[in-house]
């Protein structure tokens, strides 16, 4: 029965009524049914929610599995691709090596160097051999593991034939392929007589192994040689040593991998449970990578020797044992007489050349192995020989491109020849030049990013030239002439590098200055022309916006770089050495850096500071440009040194100087030597006038005191030592006379400072106190005397080994007093006390005996001069002065009493004598 039916049945209007109990029972049943229905509905919602969540979880799990599967597939694919690349690279190396073997007697040295070019070629073989062997080693009861277990431990004092045979056998299993890969080198080493026995081949390559950072030769080779063993036995013992190291490495890989697994399990048990295999593989790969570097193989290197023949080098054996760096080895084995090459320098030049060769590479169909079409794929090989080869290829491509130009493209022909010159590493060191003189680097970058070098709309260089020549003829010609003048400047700088190695003479210096000046004149004219034109069309054929080079960027324009070069020309015209003009480039580079940092600065004060720095450095370069004497040159450099000391914490600003500190120190030392010799010559020229000589020396010494340097002390001591004894005495007397003259100036300065201090209202009551006046004199004098002429004279006089006699000093002093006395007689009728110079002279004497007993100190005033700073209050000082005055009065009274008594006794005695008639 439904609820409404119950109501109707029981209600007043019902046809039939039921009892109260039946009604309640029926209603309870209906409520229970309603609750059950509601619970059922709720349960269905819960089930639906659960079902939805389960569905979502399944979808997420499915997506995660699919993603994991995709990642696994991608990883597997990447590993396959990596293996393919390795196999491809190994095949390439083997093919090159085989070609070298097959054509050993017919190929020239250049081709052989190319085929045997890359010092890292064999490393991919070695690492694979190491890893493949470990995969077999970690399998329990494997043949390789059993062979390693039976390998005897290395003991230099217990070597027997049985142990060496085991080492020969195991080494052949691990690294037998190395001898086959290095066969062309073995062919060259043995002059075609490569041993047929495999173990003897292995003996030839074993010295290429390194243990840590040391070669096997350094580790045990010398010790074995001391035992009198022959080379074959030494090589076999080295095999045993290497295999023991490899065994230790394999065991360490296993141990460390287990430790890594335990740590991963402890740190995240759930992740470890899910990705145990992945974690194990990652840990194992990490440890293999670590230990494969502990024992490395340094493959042979092919070089062209001085006679143009192929030279085979064993890096691990032939390197300097303390540095193990090839550039040090090359210093003793230059490829060309008088020239040295390093990995870094050729890499820099090759990278620069690759950055602007895409068009000529396209026209000349250069291999992608030499030039990559896309910048992001460009690489600079690690091999020195490979760098040389690729630079030669680029140089040849530009020359071929130049040869393809007809008479209508004569400017383009010269342009390509200029670019070929920039690729010629035989001419000079481009990186060294651009590092020493950053402004030339900016000029070269202007050329590097210009038109005619980069692909555009799949056009050829001649088509691009014709297009620009049609619409921008004048601009194009100016650009190409500017490029030629920049290359001429580089050519002149290369001459400077060569002459610095071989030595300068008058003819070389004249030749260099002529070439340099000609290049700068042409460059200045072309830059001025280009700065007045619109370069919009150029930008369509350039790597970068050409306007950023012509117009100021960060406050620097192309004309600024040319201006620095013009400074160098002017300096050389005034007699500067070509090597010393480096200073203009250094100051200019820091000035450019300041402007660049100014643009990056966010703070207004910081930008303002960089503006001021750039302006100060610009003025320094101007002053250096005007310096025509050694003294002026050194003065500018002293100001530059002061600037460096002030900004020493700003490493970004001083980066150009830090990069060239050695060169700067060289030029700085040379300037000091020139200055020293100039000063000595000037002093010698004044020897006939001792008074003037003393005056000039005091001026120089005073300047040195102000700069707080002792450089002049060495100069003066050297000069004084060169004088004979009589001249030394005469010079000392002249210095002392000038010292007394300068004391008047010191006293005058002290009086002015003292009067300025006592003009203050709070000191009015102390103005006429002589004691305080004396203290002021002494304190002001102590400050003024730190770098004045009197102090300079004393410093000079201390340089003499034997000082002048006190009698001579007293005579000079008395003569000075008489001189002032005569002056006072003419002016004040003999009253010396009215002579101002006399008072200043006495004041200066007081300064030499400092008084600090009143606790009075001087501090620098904001507006100049000094203020008084008291240790005590003014009232206390005044009281102390009065007390001292009273004590002095008492002392004076006692003294007067004593004198009075003495006088009375004298009078009495006179009276008695008169009375006695005496």
Domain boundary, last residue among 295, 318, 341: 318
**C-alpha span between 723 and 684 (Å, rounded):** 10
**C-alpha span between 648 and 651 (Å, rounded):** 7
Query: What is the rounded average pLDDT of the residues 495-524?
Result: 86
Given a cut of 80, whether residue 306 has pLDDT beyond it is no
**C-alpha span between 593 and 600 (Å, rounded):** 11
Integer angstrom CA distances of residue 36 from 31, 172, 397: 8, 85, 93
Whether residues 234 and 292 share a domain: the answer is yes
Given a cut of 70, whether residue 196 has pLDDT beyond it is yes
Q: Which of 272-281, 388-397, 550-559 has the lowest mean pLDDT?
A: 550-559
Whether residues 778 and 842 share a domain: the answer is yes
Whether residues 255 and 116 share a domain: the answer is yes
**C-alpha span between 824 and 283 (Å, rounded):** 100
Helix (H, G, I), strand (E, B) or coil at 856: strand
Whether residues 736 and 635 share a domain: the answer is no
Integer angstrom CA distances of residue 691 from 371, 479, 554, 741, 823: 74, 62, 54, 12, 21
pLDDT in tens, 524-566: 888 777 776 666 667 777 777 666 666 555 445 666 677 777 7
Helix (H, G, I), strand (E, B) or coil at 258: helix
Whether residues 251 and 303 share a domain: the answer is yes
Whether residues 272 and 131 share a domain: the answer is yes
Q: Which of 154-163, 335-344, 514-523, 701-710 has the lowest mean pLDDT?
A: 335-344
Given a cut of 80, whether residue 335 has pLDDT beyond it is no
Given a cut of 50, whether residue 133 has pLDDT beyond it is yes
Query: What is the rounded average pLDDT of the residues 361-382?
Result: 59
What is residue 468's predicted lDDT score, i.e. its pLDDT? 82
Query: What is the rounded average pLDDT of the residues 587-606?
Result: 79
Residue 156 domain-assigned? yes
What is residue 488's predicted lDDT score, i.e. its pLDDT? 92
Alpha helix positions (H), 651-724: 655-659, 661-685, 690-707, 711-722
Under the banding of pLDDT at 50, 70 and 90, the label for residue 313 is: confident
Name which residue leads in pLDDT, 490 or 117: 490
Write the DSSP assignment of 169-225 as a string of letters: HHHHHHHHHHHHHTHHHHHHHTTT---SSHHHHHHHHGGGEEETTEEHIIIIIHHHH
Under the banding of pLDDT at 50, 70 and 90, the label for residue 761 is: low
Given a cut of 60, whether residue 334 has pLDDT beyond it is no
Name which residue leads in pLDDT, 823 or 440: 440
Helix (H, G, I), strand (E, B) or coil at 296: strand
Domain boundary, last residue among 263, 294, 318: 318
Helix (H, G, I), strand (E, B) or coil at 858: strand
What interhelical angle do 836-847 and 770-784 show, nearest 10? 80
Sign of CA dihedral 773, 775, 777, 783: negative
What does the block give as tokens for 732?
A: 């000392």
Query: What is the rounded average pLDDT of the residues 49-69?
Result: 82
Whether residues 809 and 761 share a domain: the answer is yes
Under the banding of pLDDT at 50, 70 and 90, the label for residue 330 is: very low
DSSP for residue 339? -
Q: Which of 91-95, 273-277, 338-342, 820-824 has the lowest mean pLDDT?
A: 338-342
DSSP for residue 556? B
Instruction: Tell me the HSE value of 611 on the side-chain side, using a 13 A CA sphere.
Output: 6
Whether residues 590 and 730 share a domain: the answer is no
Under the banding of pLDDT at 50, 70 and 90, the label for residue 329 is: very low
Taking the mean position of all CA atoms in its chain, how far away is CA 453? 32
Residue 641 domain-assigned? yes
pTM of the model: 0.53
Residue 833 domain-assigned? yes
First to last CA, the chain: 177
Under the banding of pLDDT at 50, 70 and 90, the label for residue 675 is: confident
pLDDT in tens, 197-243: 888 888 888 877 776 555 566 667 667 777 777 888 888 888 888 88
Under the banding of pLDDT at 50, 70 and 90, the label for residue 336 is: very low
Domain with 230, as residue range(s), is 111-318
**C-alpha span between 680 and 772 (Å, rounded):** 46
Query: What is the rounded average pLDDT of the residues 629-654?
Result: 80
Count of the separate structural domains present in the chain: 4
Whether residues 751 and 610 share a domain: the answer is no
What is residue 328's predicted lDDT score, i.e. its pLDDT? 45
Query: What is the rounded average pLDDT of the residues 11-37?
Result: 71
Integer angstrom CA distances of residue 525 from 485, 529, 559: 10, 6, 10
**C-alpha span between 330 and 340 (Å, rounded):** 7
What does the block give as tokens for 238?
A: 């080295």
Given a cut of 60, whether residue 904 has pLDDT beyond it is no
What is residue 770's predicted lDDT score, i.e. its pLDDT? 64
Residue 541 domain-assigned? no
Helix (H, G, I), strand (E, B) or coil at 287: helix
* 209-211 vs 214-215, strand pairing mode: antiparallel
304 forms beta bridges with: 310
DSSP for residue 816? H
What is residue 767's predicted lDDT score, i.e. its pLDDT? 58
Contacts of 902 (CB under 8 A, 6+ apart): none
% of the chain exceeding 90 in pLDDT: 1
The four Cα atoms 433, 434, 438, 442 give a dihedral, to 10 degrees, of: 130
Task: Spell out a b/e string for 497-519, using b for 16 or more CB atoms within 10 Å of the CB, else e.
Answer: bebeeeeeeeebeeebbebbbeb
What is residue 771's predicted lDDT score, i.e. its pLDDT? 65
Given a cut of 60, whether residue 5 has pLDDT beyond it is no
Under the banding of pLDDT at 50, 70 and 90, the label for residue 338 is: very low
Whether residues 591 and 729 share a domain: the answer is no
Whether residues 55 and 195 share a domain: the answer is no
Name which residue leads in pLDDT, 817 or 534: 817
Residue 566 domain-assigned? no
Residue 906 domain-assigned? no
Query: What is the rounded average pLDDT of the residues 828-847?
Result: 66
Domain boundary, last residue among 298, 318, 338: 318
Residue 498 domain-assigned? no
Quote the mean pLDDT of the chain: 75
Contacts of 387 (CB under 8 A, 6+ apart): 343, 346, 347, 350, 380, 381
Whether residues 691 and 835 share a domain: the answer is yes
Given a cut of 50, whether residue 723 has pLDDT beyond it is yes
What does the block give as tokens for 620?
A: 């320094």
% of the chain exceeding 70 in pLDDT: 73
Given a cut of 70, whether residue 421 has pLDDT beyond it is yes
Residue 662 domain-assigned? yes
Quickly count: other Cβ atoms within 10 Å of residue 203's Cβ: 22
């Amino acid at each position: 029965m439904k609820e409404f039916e119950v109501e109707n049945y029981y209600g007043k209007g019902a046809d039939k009524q039921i009892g109260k109990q039946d009604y309640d029972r029926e209603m309870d049943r209906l409520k229970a049914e309603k609750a059950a229905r509601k619970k059922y509905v709720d349960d269905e919602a819960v089930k639906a929610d659960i079902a939805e969540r389960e569905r979502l979880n399944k979808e997420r799990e499915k997506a995660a599995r699919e993603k994991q599967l995709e990642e696994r597939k991608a990883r597997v694919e990447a590993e396959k691709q990596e293996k393919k690349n390795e196999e491809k690279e190994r095949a390439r190396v083997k093919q090159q090596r085989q070609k070298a073997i097959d054509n050993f007697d017919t190929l020239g040295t250049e081709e052989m160097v190319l085929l045997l070019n890359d010092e890292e070629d064999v490393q991919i073989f070695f690492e694979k051999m190491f890893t493949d062997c470990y995969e077999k080693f970690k399998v329990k009861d494997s043949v390789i593991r059993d062979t390693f277990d039976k390998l005897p431990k290395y003991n230099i004092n217990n070597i027997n034939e049985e142990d060496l045979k085991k080492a020969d056998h195991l080494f052949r299993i691990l690294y037998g392929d190395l001898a086959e890969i290095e066969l062309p080198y073995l062919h060259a080493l043995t002059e075609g007589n490569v041993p047929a026995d495999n173990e003897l081949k292995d003996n030839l390559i074993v010295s290429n192994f390194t243990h840590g950072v040391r070669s096997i030769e350094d580790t045990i080779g010398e010790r074995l040689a001391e035992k009198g063993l022959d080379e074959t036995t030494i090589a076999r013992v080295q095999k045993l040593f290497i295999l023991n190291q490899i065994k230790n490495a394999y065991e360490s890989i296993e141990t460390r991998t287990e430790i890594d697994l335990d740590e991963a399990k402890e740190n995240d048990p759930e992740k470890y449970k899910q990705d145990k295999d992945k974690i194990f593989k990652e840990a194992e790969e990490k440890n293999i990578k670590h230990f494969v570097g502990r024992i490395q193989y340094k493959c042979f290197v092919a070089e062209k020797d001085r006679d143009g023949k192929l030279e085979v080098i064993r890096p691990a054996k032939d390197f300097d044992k303390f540095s193990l760096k090839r550039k040090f080895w090359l210093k003793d084995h230059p490829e060309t007489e008088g020239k040295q090459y390093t990995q870094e320098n050729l890499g820099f030049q090759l990278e620069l050349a690759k950055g602007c060769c895409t068009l000529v590479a396209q026209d000349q169909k250069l291999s992608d192995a030499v030039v990559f079409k896309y910048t992001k794929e460009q690489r600079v090989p690690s091999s020195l020989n490979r760098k040389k080869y690729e630079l030669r290829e680029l140089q040849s491509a530009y020359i071929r491109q130049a040869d393809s130009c007809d008479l209508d493209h004569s400017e383009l022909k010269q342009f390509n020849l200029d670019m070929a010159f920039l690729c010629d590493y035989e001419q000079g060191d481009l990186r060294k030049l651009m590092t020493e003189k950053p402004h030339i680097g900016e000029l070269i970058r202007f050329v590097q990013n210009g038109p005619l070098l980069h692909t555009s709309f799949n056009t050829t260089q001649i088509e691009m030239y014709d297009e620009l020549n049609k619409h921008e003829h004048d601009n194009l010609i100016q650009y190409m002439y500017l490029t030629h003048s920049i290359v001429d400047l580089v050519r002149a700088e290369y001459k400077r590098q060569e002459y610095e190695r071989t030595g300068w003479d008058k003819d070389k210096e004249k030749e260099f200055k002529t070439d340099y000046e000609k290049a700068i004149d042409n460059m200045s004219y072309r830059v001025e022309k280009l700065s007045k034109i619109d370069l919009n069309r150029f930008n369509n054929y350039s790597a970068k916006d050409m306007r950023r080079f012509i117009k100021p960027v960060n406050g620097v324009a192309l004309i600024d770089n040319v201006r620095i070069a013009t400074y160098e020309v002017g300096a050389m015209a005034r007699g500067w050495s070509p090597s010393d003009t480096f200073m203009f480039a250094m100051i200019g580079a820091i000035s450019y850096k300041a402007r660049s940092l100014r643009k990056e600065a966010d703070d207004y004060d910081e930008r303002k500071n960089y503006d001021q720095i750039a302006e100060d450095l610009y003025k320094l370069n101007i002053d250096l440009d005007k310096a025509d004497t050694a003294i002026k040159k050194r003065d500018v450099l002293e100001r530059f040194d002061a600037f460096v000391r002030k900004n020493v914490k700003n490493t970004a600003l001083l980066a150009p100087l830090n990069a060239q500190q050695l060169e700067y120190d060289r030029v700085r030392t040379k300037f000091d030597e020139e200055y020293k010799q100039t000063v000595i010559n000037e002093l010698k020229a004044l020897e006939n006038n001792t008074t003037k000589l003393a005056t000039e020396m005091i001026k120089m010494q005073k300047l040195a005191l102000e700069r707080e340097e002792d450089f002049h002390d060495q100069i003066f001591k050297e000069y004084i030592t060169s004088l004979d004894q009589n001249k030394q005495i005469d010079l000392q007397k002249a210095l002392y006379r000038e010292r007394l003259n300068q004391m008047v100036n010191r006293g005058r300065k002290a009086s002015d400072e003292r009067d300025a201090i006592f003009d203050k209202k709070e000191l009015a009551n102390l103005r006429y106190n002589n004691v305080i006046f004396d203290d002021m004199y002494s304190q002001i004098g102590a400050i003024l005397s730190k770098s004045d002429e009197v102090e300079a004279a004393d410093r000079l006089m201390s340089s003499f080994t034997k000082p002048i006699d006190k009698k001579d000093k007293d005579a000079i002093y008395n003569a000075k007093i008489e001189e002032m006395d005569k002056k006072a007689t003419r002016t004040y009728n003999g009253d010396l006390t009215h002579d101002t110079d006399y008072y200043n002279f006495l004041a200066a004497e007081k300064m030499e005996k400092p008084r600090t007993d009143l606790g009075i100190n001087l501090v620098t005033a904001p507006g100049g001069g000094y203020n008084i700073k008291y240790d005590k209050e003014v009232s206390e000082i005044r009281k102390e002065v009065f007390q001292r005055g009273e004590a002095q009065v008492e002392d004076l009274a006692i003294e007067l009493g004593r004198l009075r008594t003495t006088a009375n006794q004298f009078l009495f005695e006179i009276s008695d004598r008169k009375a006695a008639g005496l």
